[in-house]
Amino acid sequence: MRIITISREFGSGGRELGKRMADLLHFDYYDREIIGAVARGRGLNEYYAEHILENHGWQNFPLTFRSSFHTLDPRQREKVEFLLEERRVVEEIAALGKDCVIVGRNADVILRDKNPLRLFVCATESAKLRRCRERAPEDERLSDKGMLRKMREIDKNRAIARGILCGEPWGDRQSYHLIVNTSDWDIKQLAASLAEFALCRFGGEK
Amino acid sequence: MRIITISREFGSGGRELGKRMADLLHFDYYDREIIGAVARGRGLNEYYAEHILENHGWQNFPLTFRSSFHTLDPRQREKVEFLLEERRVVEEIAALGKDCVIVGRNADVILRDKNPLRLFVCATESAKLRRCRERAPEDERLSDKGMLRKMREIDKNRAIARGILCGEPWGDRQSYHLIVNTSDWDIKQLAASLAEFALCRFGGEK
């Protein structure tokens, strides 16, 4: 089984990159699907699940929660339960034993013993802003300042969630095989190069 | 002209990676050669040149030197002159107009307008330690602790030199196209993958 995990800064194109790599490699692809499964398992709708994990409210999270789960307020406890549920789903996916690309969800940490190829995708703020502008529906357009604030907040929340799971800093070069900066690249071409690269990494492994 | 610049942590295998990539791509290769040329230009021997740039004495360097070059003491001034001389040599190499790989020497910063493929090579401390152990001559063997101290010091000096040249943090993911962590890889195989990757990047460019 070959697993590629993709962690990414919001707006860096990590999701598109992962989807394209999965298509090229004929690997299964997981991303919002995981969130969806978690949400359905908890009887929540998908939007709410996304909202819980990527938006407000992590900031005041006690980083020592491991030893003080009972001190969390109900909303915080809901988040931790959500992370744990999500972890179970990621483990279930891995247990299927099929080659796959998993975007986000701290899969690199959760599946460390499966030795995944761990990618982190980043870009400059101007490149991410451009990308978000191109993709945001007309009626959801924020100002540049608002968009940057949203980006930073989402990334900060991702960093906090990672910290809770494994204590390692998010986006640190020691934690990934490859950090790819998409700012100067065509994502389609980059996906093809990285797919080749991944095949080299996995060699004859199946 | 296609240029690949390789910045690296001490002991990460960046130099071997660069040499192998240059061989595979039939690119010219520069590394200590540059130091050598600088040293010869200044009538210094090569060992001394390496020593000046990568060892003790940067720590107290005033980071605002640009506006206060005249306040530097003679040894500090010698270092800055050395960096500037080195920059001239890197620029001369680029002026030859030939495809090349340049390891270290802040070539990614110096040649930014030539749009090089910018790689940064890192590894975990345990992997770097293992690598240094394998390569150090018997009579130069330090304790693990001593080796780690040397590693960190050299990297710190590289970070300071970069800061002086461009003000950007060294090893920051925003500054490179790709950060490669060599810890889990065979460098020979990695070089082949990255050479392919580089060719994709440059496309039809000559």
**pLDDT tens-digit profile of A20-48?**
999 999 999 998 777 666 656 766 655 55
| pLDDT band at A63; cut points 50, 70, 90 | very low
| pLDDT band at B11; cut points 50, 70, 90 | very high
| pLDDT band at B45; cut points 50, 70, 90 | low
Take residue B76 and report the two structure tokens written for it. 């500090």
Question: Is A80 in the B-facing interface, judged by CB distances under 8 Å?
Answer: no
Facing A193 at nearest CB: one of B173, B180, B200: B200
| pLDDT band at A125; cut points 50, 70, 90 | very high
| Mean pLDDT (whole number) for A58-69 | 49
* pLDDT tops 90 at residue A100: yes
The helices-and-strands tally (H runs, E runs) of chain B is: 8, 5
Q: What is the pTM of this model?
A: 0.85
Class of domain B3-198: alpha beta
Identify the three-state secondary structure at position B6: strand
- The neighbour count for residue A146, using CB atoms within 10 Å, is 10
Question: Is A170 in the B-facing interface, judged by CB distances under 8 Å?
Answer: no
pLDDT digits 0-9 by tens, B190-206: 999 999 889 888 875 65
* CB-CB under 8 Å, B181 with A177: yes
Quote the CA–CA distance of A88 and A90 in Å, as a whole number: 5
The helices-and-strands tally (H runs, E runs) of chain A is: 8, 5
Could you please state the CATH topology (level 3) that the domain comprising A3-200 is classified under: Rossmann fold (3.40.50)
| pLDDT band at A135; cut points 50, 70, 90 | confident
Q: What residues have CB less than 8 Å from A182, skipping those under 6 apart?
A: A12, A13, A14, A17, A121, A122, A123, A127, A190
Show residues of chain A in contact with B192, CB under 8 Å: 200
Greatest alpha-carbon pair distance for chain B in Å reads 49
| Mean pLDDT (whole number) for B184-193 | 91
Show residues of chain B in contact with A171, CB under 8 Å: 173
* pLDDT tops 80 at residue B9: yes
pLDDT digits 0-9 by tens, B113-156: 999 999 999 999 999 999 988 887 665 678 888 889 999 999 99
Q: From the CA of B139, how many Å to the nearest CA of chain A?
A: 30
Residue B22 vs residue A140, higher pLDDT: B22
Q: What residues have CB less than 8 Å from A15, skipping those under 6 apart?
A: A6, A8, A31, A103, A104
* pLDDT tops 50 at residue A64: no
Facing B174 at nearest CB: one of A122, A174, A201: A122
Question: Is B202 in the A-facing interface, judged by CB distances under 8 Å?
Answer: no
* CB-CB under 8 Å, A200 with B189: yes
